[in-house]
Structure 1
Amino acid sequence: MAGFWEKLLGIEKEVQRQTERAEIMSGGTALFTPFSGNAYESDIYRAAVDAIARNAAKLKGKHLIASSERRLTGDKQLNRLLQVRPNPYMTAYDLLYKLVTHYYLFNNTFAFLDKDERGYLRAIYPLSPQSVEYMTDANGTMYCKFLFSNGQEVTLPYTDVFIARRFFNSNDLLGDTNTAIIPALDLAHTQNEGLENSIKSNATIRGILKYNQVLSPEKLKEEKAAFINDYLTVENNGGIAAIDSKFDYIPLESNPVSVDDKQLNAVKQKIYEYLGISESIVNSTYSEDEWASFYESIIEPLAIQFSLELTDKLFTEREQSFGNSIMFESNRLQFASNTSKTNIIKELMPYGLFTANQALEILNLPPVENGDKRIQTLNVVNADKADKYQLNEEGEYQDESNKSEE
């Protein structure tokens, strides 16, 4: 990663401007520090975030040049950065996974857009700062001042930083923290501790050891320690103690309180609802309708947010006016049932909406030679040709019945 830090520090030297904290309309400061609630240490929260990140990382970023008449694939090098290798250290899947994970852990995710002297993108690096402070110079140009865990402090132009926010409410430049979920995470941790203690309590013997002879305090401690080591440990399989007549053992009732399934599920559901995800998505038992709902409510908003941010940061207003944009998309039909896939192909292919290879891709089958031609039934006629077919040269409708009689 030495080359990465050299790039960042090189840009820091180029900036060399007098900056001050940015003022925001809502008051306060535009200062970001990572959430310290250790949400990622919760197995429930981590599993849910992982499920979202794994599926969001399947999105495919594309540079498109679109107009009202056509839609073309853009620069090949840019598409390779977005789809294969955004930087020397990770794949496109790794990049999206990390950005989405930060998005749900900190409600703010950052990446450095490494551009050359002409403004063309060379690489994308996800950032894991300890704090981020928005700054402005005398001309009103905005910068992001990053402080990293190794002590490095770097100020980058706002236009070279990819930023996505969640819970974008109280601050004009940053997403809110995850403090609202802390009680549920604490309760989940307490439940796990309670289950562990309950298991340990049930695996040991508890009681009073009464000796039938007088022993010195030192000897009594030795006998007690020996009894504990022999019988009052988890290793005492079966929970049985064998004693002789020199002492009596009086057991004590132990009724550890266990957490029932309803309480466990209630806390788990509370965390899932906070993240907007269902348990079926987390454990991959979702139905087709459940997947569609998850895609529309979670994956699609992420795709739109990432697309808009990269479009604005990579292209000038003039380039955007000519149709240049970045779009993250995925083939949603790949997650449909075979019955739904077959019905969609059957209904839409006669209209020329699919090529043979596109239909095969939906079915997760390899392409065939000359399969990029569109197939259309003769029963579907172009609207212009239909008018010519039904109208005569004078613009009057042909009477097909009279024509046949003549």
Structure 2
Amino acid sequence: MLSSGSPVFTSFSGNAYSSDLYRAAVDAIARNAAKLKGKHVIYSKKNSERFAGDQYLNRILQVRPNPYMTAYDLIYKLTTHYYLYNNAFAFLQKDDRGYLQAIYPLSPSNMEYLTDPTGTMYCRFLFGNGQQVTLPFSDVFVARRFFNSNDLLGDTNAAILPTLDLAHTQSEGMENAIKSSATIRGILKYNQVLSPEKLKEEKDAFVNDYLSATNNGGVAAMDSKFDYVPLENSPVSIDDKQMDAVKKKIYDYLGISENIVNSTYTEDEWSAFYESVLEPLALQFSLELTEKIFTPREQAFGNSIIFESNRLQFASNESKTTMLKELIPLGLLTTNQALEILNLPPVEDGNKRLQTLNVVNVDQVDQYQGGNTNEGNQNSGTTNGTGKQ
């Protein structure tokens, strides 16, 4: 490597996932990203058409990537690792012929890049149970975030850790403030001389009787043998603006808004979230899987992995209706495709395309507008105002 950074990955990230704000934000991204649909497609270079690929490979990408999880689980886990550790790994299990058999997400505590004397790169993983596995780099899916200082790995989340610590302090401060306001605090002054053992015993008895959670009402009954002098306790409350500022810093770090996290987004907010967060993630996954699943020759013949999402599913009914009015007359959608946009079931013979007669093929424009040339010449022999042809 040309940089000075060591190509070694460790899973430590300050335990960001223990923060409720960070976890909720990562979950919002992961559960929406998990709805992406992986596809094997073949592009034709002659006419730029796209054809459906291998069905077995599509089943791995769309249904069951391995015996232990669904495709939703796989993408969710990879996306979660992507935002927690800024590096996501998966093992691409292949048979003797190099065909993909399964995809397993990896959760290593440490990973190190290695090379053999021929220059072939490997990944040596160390897992939490102490097991160590070395895999060819060509069989390892790698997704990186904040890909800057290291040549092979994404940077850590050190930049957001102070904010996460502040959020944790705020949470503890609120808890302590509630506990402080719900207890009696003061000085217990006895009117007689007691031994240290007896004084401690009396104090403990007073605390157990009146300062515990079982003291309903918060009232203490005392006689003349001691005086209780309460201490003023004004717990510091956390300003809402301060809490919102910390929350916004976490959401900005992840590139999302609060409405995405609590699922109150508008159509425009969802579109912005898709284009700025989900679409780059889908592109990164697509390029990495294409490179690791297919050989250069197979890629040259148009084999590719793509991830798609039905963005119109989150559009308003008004937007869907407007779009259908514009696209159906042009013959761009079949009946079943239009029904899918409206979240309705398909119908029989619904794969036909309907098109208005107001549009015509470009190659037939002259014939459509002026009719046959010979007929046009015959029709042009009409009399003019002078009575001559």
Are 2:231 and 1:255 aligned? no
**Structure 1 Cα separation of the partners of residues 63 and 315 of structure 2:** 25
Are 2:306 and 1:327 aligned? yes
User: Does the aligned pair in 2 maintain the 1:53–1:97 contact within 8 Å?
Assistant: yes
**Structure 2 Cα separation of the partners of residues 344 and 403 of structure 1:** 46
Q: Quote how far apart the aligned CAs of 1:215 are.
A: 2.4
Equivalent residue, structure 2, for 1:62? 39
Q: What do the CA deviations read for 1:297-326 (whole angstroms, capped 9, x no partner)?
A: 000000000000000111111111111100
Equivalent residue, structure 2, for 1:145? 124
Are 2:108 and 1:129 aligned? yes
Are 2:191 and 1:212 aligned? yes
**Structure 1 Cα separation of the partners of residues 82 and 52 of structure 2:** 28
Q: Quote how far apart the aligned CAs of 1:397 are.
A: 12
Q: Quote how far apart the aligned CAs of 1:120 are.
A: 0.4
2:17 to 34, 40, 55: 40
User: Does the aligned pair in 1 maintain the 2:13–2:157 contact within 8 Å?
Assistant: no
User: Does the aligned pair in 2 maintain the 1:142–1:158 contact within 8 Å?
Assistant: yes
Are 2:136 and 1:157 aligned? yes
Q: Secondary structure at the match of 1:99?
A: helix
Q: Secondary structure at the match of 1:201?
A: helix
Q: Quote how far apart the aligned CAs of 1:28 are.
A: 3.2
Q: Secondary structure at the match of 2:333?
A: strand
- Runs of 4 or more consecutive aligned structure 1 residues displaced over 6 Å after TM superposition: 403-406
- Distance change >3 Å, CA 228–CA 296, structure 1 → 2: same
Equivalent residue, structure 2, for 1:28? 5
Q: Secondary structure at the match of 1:353?
A: coil
- Distance change >3 Å, CA 232–CA 397, structure 1 → 2: farther
Equivalent residue, structure 2, for 1:203? 182
Query: Which amino acid in the other structure matches residue 59 of structure 1?
Result: L
Are 2:53 and 1:113 aligned? no
**Structure 2 Cα separation of the partners of residues 309 and 400 of structure 1:** 64
Unmatched 5+ residue regions in structure 2? Answer: 384-388
1:374 to 353, 365, 372: 353
Unmatched 5+ residue regions in structure 1? Answer: 1-23
Sequence identity (%): 73
Q: Secondary structure at the match of 2:305?
A: strand
Q: Quote how far apart the aligned CAs of 1:130 are.
A: 1.2
User: Does the aligned pair in 2 maintain the 1:390–1:398 contact within 8 Å?
Assistant: no
Q: Quote how far apart the aligned CAs of 1:386 are.
A: 1.1
Equivalent residue, structure 2, for 1:3? none
**Structure 2 Cα separation of the partners of residues 393 and 338 of structure 1:** 44
Are 2:277 and 1:298 aligned? yes
Q: Quote how far apart the aligned CAs of 1:399 are.
A: 8.3
- Distance change >3 Å, CA 174–CA 398, structure 1 → 2: farther
Q: Quote how far apart the aligned CAs of 1:125 are.
A: 0.2
User: Does the aligned pair in 2 maintain the 1:204–1:236 contact within 8 Å?
Assistant: no
Query: Which amino acid in the other structure matches residue 300 of structure 1?
Result: E
Q: Quote how far apart the aligned CAs of 1:401 are.
A: 8.7
Q: Quote how far apart the aligned CAs of 1:403 are.
A: 6.7
**Structure 2 Cα separation of the partners of residues 98 and 115 of structure 1:** 21
Are 2:27 and 1:50 aligned? yes
User: Does the aligned pair in 1 maintain the 2:92–2:140 contact within 8 Å?
Assistant: yes
2:297 to 308, 318, 327: 318
Query: Which amino acid in the other structure matches residue 172 of structure 1?
Result: D
- Distance change >3 Å, CA 401–CA 347, structure 1 → 2: farther
**Structure 2 Cα separation of the partners of residues 298 and 397 of structure 1:** 59
Q: Secondary structure at the match of 1:133?
A: strand
**Structure 2 Cα separation of the partners of residues 49 and 183 of structure 1:** 18
2:77 to 88, 95, 98: 98
- Distance change >3 Å, CA 109–CA 404, structure 1 → 2: farther
Q: Secondary structure at the match of 2:31?
A: helix
Q: What do the CA deviations read for 1:3-45 (whole angstroms, capped 9, x no partner)?
A: xxxxxxxxxxxxxxxxxxxxx1112321111134000000000
Q: Quote how far apart the aligned CAs of 1:241 are.
A: 1.3
Equivalent residue, structure 2, for 1:76? 55
- Distance change >3 Å, CA 404–CA 100, structure 1 → 2: farther
Structure 1 residues 275-286: aligned runs within 5 Å:
275-286=254-265
User: Does the aligned pair in 2 maintain the 1:62–1:328 contact within 8 Å?
Assistant: yes
**Structure 2 Cα separation of the partners of residues 67 and 308 of structure 1:** 18
TM-score, L = length of structure 1: 0.91
User: Does the aligned pair in 2 maintain the 1:390–1:397 contact within 8 Å?
Assistant: no
**Structure 1 Cα separation of the partners of residues 5 and 355 of structure 2:** 61
Q: Secondary structure at the match of 1:268?
A: helix
Are 2:332 and 1:350 aligned? no
Q: Secondary structure at the match of 1:179?
A: coil
Equivalent residue, structure 2, for 1:8? none
- Distance change >3 Å, CA 74–CA 403, structure 1 → 2: farther
Q: Secondary structure at the match of 2:331?
A: strand
**Structure 2 Cα separation of the partners of residues 208 and 391 of structure 1:** 105
Query: Which amino acid in the other structure matches residue 37 of structure 1?
Result: G
**Structure 2 Cα separation of the partners of residues 283 and 265 of structure 1:** 14
- Distance change >3 Å, CA 403–CA 64, structure 1 → 2: farther
